[in-house]
């Protein structure tokens, strides 16, 4: 008898057959679209390293929110770019802070749109670190005051919930932040507000364009004393385990592309929804190559996002969200 050659091509022969056997489906309900909000009037300013992504003042935000809803994307992640910065990040937990104001407005314009609030201090501190941090004189490194940072992060989360945020997304990487924020929200009467924890956040060069965009580059040292070493994966399990024990509702891996193995591992080891953050430099690289005509942007983006889903992401935070949602509907953008 002849050697039985498996006819893989039988299942690839037509678009209809390929659709029947496709294992991963990407849809607009998978996406969260990040938005940068700022003070001032009539501002819609493009971020140079992130073409197509803007800073919006409140008066220009409504049109953007309407566009997000029209694209079919159901959730936004808000980042504030404040006027005022100080050592303790005061405007992060001000009820009139930019994220709080934007949240209230979005809930009026589009009550169904899910608002995720980034809970971190780095855009709001003059030193650009994610918590209360001082510089070690001898080595120049950033020394974190974990417990004082937690107090301020809890205040930030509660003020965001008060403003109407549906999901709190702490990205600060302080130890115990999920427990502290969960207790703070519960005590303030926000027991129903979910926490999307940036459980596994690597100290990464892929945040470069975001730091320009959010004016949040550290002014001394770096984030290596609180963000994870890119070489580690077993440590990611420990980070995720503690977040689950502390009450996280969703687990995030960030960045996404260089860390798909980590995403897959969290998916296999935990039963919470897993979130991939397709970060700023991943976006900028695609936009730069596309602008040069070196790649087919639409095909690259859809393939990349499909890869993240296949690796285990239930949710993808991506600056491509609006475009991808429209492409998936067969529209050109
Ligand atoms: C702040 C924060 C960062 C990002 C999201 N929240 C930057 C950082 O940790 O320096 C990066 C997002 C991106 O690159 O798209 N804590």
The DSSP annotation for 128-168 comes to --SSSEEE-TTT--EEE-HHHHHHHHHHHHHHHHHHT-SEE
> Hey, CA dihedral for 204, 209, 213, 216, is it positive or negative?
positive
| 22-36, 119-133, 236-250: segment of lowest average pLDDT | 119-133
* Rounded mean pLDDT, 237-266: 96
Buried b (16+ CB within 10 A) or exposed e, 78-105: bbbbbeebeebbbbbbbeebbbbbbbbb
Measured in degrees and rounded to the nearest 5, phi and psi for residue 137 equal -55, -45
Q: Which of 116, 142, 144, 171 best tests ligand 1's pocket when mutated (most atoms within 8 Å of CB)? A: 171
Residue 242's nearest CA partner among 165, 177, 172 is: 177
Q: Which atom of ligand 1 is closest in space to residue 281's alpha carbon?
A: 14
Angle, in degrees to the nearest 10, between helices 98-109 and 58-71: 50
- The alpha carbon of 82 and the centre of ligand 1 are apart by a number of angstroms equal to 15
Q: What is the pTM of this model?
A: 0.94
CB 237 within 8 A of CB 183: no
**Is the confidence at residue 24, as pLDDT, over 70?**
yes
Residue 308 CA to residue 261 CA, distance in Å, equals 10
29, pLDDT greater than 80: yes
Taking residues 56-65, what's their average pLDDT? 98
- In sequence order, the 6+-apart residues with CB closer than 8 A to the CB of 233 are 261, 262, 265
Residue 189, pLDDT > 90, answer yes
Report whether pLDDT(22) > 90.
yes
Domains, the chain, ordered by start: 25-328 (3.20.20.70)
DSSP β-ladder status, 167-170 and 142-144: unpaired
Question: Are the beta carbons of 87 and 119 closer than 8 angstroms?
Answer: no
Is 131 within 8 Å of 152 (Cβ atoms)? yes
Q: Which of 44, 85, 224, 254 is catalytic?
A: 254
Burial grade of 311 (CB within 10 A; 0-12, 13-18, 19 or more) = buried
Smallest CA separation from ligand 1 atom 11, residue: 207
Average pLDDT for the chain: 94
Q: How far apart are CA 108 and CA 163, in angstroms?
A: 11
Distance in Å, CA 195 to ligand 1 centroid: 17
Q: Which residues pair with 250 in a beta bridge?
A: 196
Active-site residue among 44, 85, 107, 201? 201
Indicate if 107 belongs to the active site.
no
For range 278-307, the mean pLDDT: 98
- For residue 283, pLDDT over 80 is answered with yes
What tens digit of pLDDT does each residue of 62-93 get?
A: 999 999 999 999 999 999 999 889 999 999 99
pLDDT of residue 1: 62
Residue 137 is encoded by which pair of tokens? 């004189």
Residue bearing the bigger pLDDT, 215 or 294: 294
């Amino acid at each position: 008898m002849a050697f039985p050659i498996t006819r893989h091509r039988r299942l690839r022969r037509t678009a209809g057959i390929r659709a029947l056997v496709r294992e991963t489906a990407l849809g607009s309900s998978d996406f969260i679209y990040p938005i940068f909000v700022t003070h001032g009037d009539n501002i819609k300013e493009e971020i140079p390293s992130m073409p197509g992504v803007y800073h919006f003042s409140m008066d220009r935000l409504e049109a953007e929110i309407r566009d997000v809803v029209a694209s079919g994307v159901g959730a936004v992640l808000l980042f504030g770019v404040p006027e005022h910065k100080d050592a303790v990040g005061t405007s992060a937990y001000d009820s009139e802070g930019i994220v709080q104001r934007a949240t209230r407005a979005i809930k009026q314009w589009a009550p169904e749109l899910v608002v995720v609030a980034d809970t971190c201090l780095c855009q709001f501190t003059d030193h650009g670190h994610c918590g209360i941090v001082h510089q070690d004189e001898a080595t120049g490194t950033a020394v974190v005051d974990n417990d004082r940072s937690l107090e301020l992060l809890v205040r930030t989360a509660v003020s965001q919930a008060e403003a109407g945020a549906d999901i709190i997304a702490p990205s600060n990487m302080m130890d115990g932040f999920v427990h502290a924020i969960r207790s703070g929200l519960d005590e303030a009467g926000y027991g129903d507000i979910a926490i999307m924890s940036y459980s596994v956040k690597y100290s990464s060069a892929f945040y470069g364009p975001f730091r320009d965009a959010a004016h949040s580059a550290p002014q001394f040292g770096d984030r290596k004393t609180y963000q994870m070493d890119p070489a580690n994966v077993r440590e990611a399990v420990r980070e995720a385990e503690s977040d689950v024990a502390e009450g996280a509702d969703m687990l995030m891996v960030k960045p996404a592309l260089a860390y798909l193995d980590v995403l897959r591992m969290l998916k296999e080891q935990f039963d919470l929804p897993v979130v991939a953050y397709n970060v700023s430099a991943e976006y900028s690289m695609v936009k730069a190559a596309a602008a040069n005509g070196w790649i087919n942007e639409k095909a690259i983006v859809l393939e990349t996002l499909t890869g993240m889903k296949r690796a285990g992401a239930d949710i993808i935070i991506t600056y491509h969200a609006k475009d991808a949602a429209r492409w998936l509907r067969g529209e050109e953008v």
